[in-house]
Structure 1
């Protein structure tokens, strides 16, 4: 076996052997990935054909000089020849994972089969980088939940945005760049979608709409226009209003009019076809086209104020108690004064106390949260009772809500 001892510290020559494997471009995962008669010098590997090319002698000589350990030559599938003493050693004598270079080139991590791409995660937050450009971050995970973003080439990923634009992804950084067709679109809520060539899809679309809340206090902005505030919560109780595009929602009124929703400001604008309707009470209905969640609310017209305001009505807008996975329940309510003004978020509204037969009640901006008492499981209840009481005007309300059980996806 001494014929393999062809590498010396100075001016070595490798014997020409006809058997060799093609140059490898990917990372080495095991001993069998190393071609027969390949030479390992430190963290570098050289195939037989490469080492016998006189143009590469200088590079290999440098590797020999810099190497602090021994040099190994793979004989066959049985093991290595240790160059210093020409002895044969077993295949485990060289740690394959330490080999970082193949024929002078950095070894690229092997690209997993695209079938191993199991999930694509997209951060919905975008960062503006120009008048019509923005960036976002993404991750590609395999079936074990490991981040394999850097191993999936950009050519395997197709990207799209809910407005006219193009997407370019950079696997080395996990950053995608959006170039909008119109500079105006960069300020609109968008949904980013990435698809790998085998069809695995990821989207920046937010969690599903679980609950609406509408502030019934209409603000006149013109002879035939008025505005109102609305809020959207997901199944975790998080405000996702700004992430739900207006195109995903249906907004209609009980009078002839059009309603335009602006997620960025959380406002709806009503344009009345008949200006006389602006002083009448109307019903506004919001519906999420994806989940079917809906809410209808009476929008009360304003009246002149002649006396100190007080709570006149406490209204539960919800007919069902939306339950979340953490065991809490949510419902929407509104409070009006004697002039029909929505005072839910005013000091008058703050005086109203809500109680329930099954737990503690907290209120915030027209949303009522119930936390069940110890030993009570909301998922096992069909109805709950909610009471409202204003200590000043003595106005009360008593409502029984149907429990809408959490739907597990």
Structure 2
């Protein structure tokens, strides 16, 4: 029971109740604390508050009084007590209530800073202490000077905004410094500081026991006494730990021991016995001394020598961490996982020393001599090794890694990791190795477009999911790590119906296709290794045959100047013609004009005899331009004024008989040849960005831009070549050579602009029109890879390396499948399949690959090629990756292989080759 608060000390204070006091960060002098309540004298002396005071006394609790000197006095004993005994209280005075924390600290209010003082805290830092809290640190300006030279120092604040640390990028030079502080335009004062030469001020040997490594035996069978270990620290005059600095190196500090040769590095003292036959454990104590050669500072410590051999007193394994937040997953041998741990030396001090841990832990795999391996409940799945800390080689971390070639797990697997010290202590932790992302289900769907007999590389839509329901799209995730199409090598798919092809797109995603659509109904099925089954039934329509002819009137100008010539074909160079099958699908005739073994082309004829257009136009070399197919063009020649209808007809040459007949597939276009006087304006086609390099190869040039006339209606008119009298470039960044436009070399990282000025002479007048030119010095980089195929035998010739007989058609392409007769395939051997070598066309065969760069030219080289899935043993198909030269020790109908070519940019193209007599 406390005494009543009418003791002499309290009475004395209460007599002075009318005296006023200043407020501080703690409670005012004269305060009375009763339990968890506190009152100032004025409040306690006021009769109005008598009930409040009585309630506090009734509630009980220790009573303390703050005297006139600001010291706390125990009301029972009268003794002065430390403020730390004062509990958290609610303080009342005439102005209101304030909460104070334990030890008489104000938790409600804070005093605003009015001044500051700076001090040196290390060779590179100053600390500025404010006498209160800074309201807005962004308004505080620190000006640090060495003499009159300002020094830039980084600023960091403490959480309560009462202190700031100024940090220099390196150790500050020995000199005098000033630190001025201005807060919101108010000067808080200037401090003068001195940086003195950094020196060793304290050497501490950490621990009372010398740990001893177990005795070992050399390869020669000689006993090697174990070494002794103990930790140490070195501090400079500012109290900063400089153990790892050059000041604390053995060249500056001389270390000695009473029982052996002594060496101190990175906070660890190592003692080696003076005698090869004397064990350190034969000594009971060891005296270690250290003397700093610069300051003569010395330290000495007498340690007990551990009777048991071992350098680690205890170790506790904690949690597994990964900097990127990943989880331990089978097969992920790239991500770094570290097992946090706490270890102590034999003196009980925390340690991360790599050397101490190496000497103090048992190794589960002594054949791995470089590291300590921890014990594992399943060592075939992961490894747990003690390795150097990547950030500090003197310290150790426990690295946990899933094994790359581990056996497959079918569920998340717990694994126990155990660390054992040589002194007999152990610690274990269980980590979970998650099952790698594995295909669980693969559902295929019917092709989105109509399919017909003979269609090749028909894409099959699919949806794939792993065991956690995550959608999969990558080839490696669905098919597995194998780069081939062989499902027997798959890690994830158990079986698939013959005819389904699994290929990898350039972006790494999976593409599933049916290699060739068969007549009737076909069932395709995929079964995953998890037992999930997916099936589609594909009903083939009749084989696609030409059914309609389409003519693009946006690329063909129906109005022409006299003597103008327009070329039409199925390719991108001229364009305009397109054949569609009976299902409305466009037939790609840019690669081959062979469809179901028959050859197709488009020919023209004139309706009437008085028109102004001649279709059967011959150049000066006598080459006819009346038939269009892959590689050949139709030329429409404006021979005289007037309108003329041209009829385009699809022709078929039967593969079996060679007989050519006209089909009923036709399209008619009316061309009008206009008078020069009808042309009132001109327009130029645009040219894309050119690669700026002086060259004369097609890889770095484009054709001259087309110039069109304009009628009063705005309709464009194809002009005769003779109307363009001259072309010239505006500056030296470009040139015209052999009918093409080139960009000359410019500085790296730059671009150039210019124009082509085309002078036109029409209707007795000279007109000029310009075409904008742009060039770039950025090296061409392939954005895609293409393949070109020429039919080897089109009834008009033979083939290099042999003469084709009978009605064979040589080489055809459909989708990404190239079919060649044996003799046609043989003609490709020992020749390059690369179209360019250093951007110059090679002596390639009738099948060649090329890279399309960002400038839209076929001027980029290929860097790699590989043949996979070759069938036809004992015949061996191969390709030289550097030259692209194909080789084989024979070619027989039925052989197949897959060829992948890669551009330096990573763009790829994969094509399947089939050797077959049937075209």
TM-score by length of 1: 0.33
Which protein, 1 or 2, shows the higher relative CO under an 8 Å CA cutoff with sep ≥ 6?
1
Name the structure where helix makes up a greater proportion of residues: 1
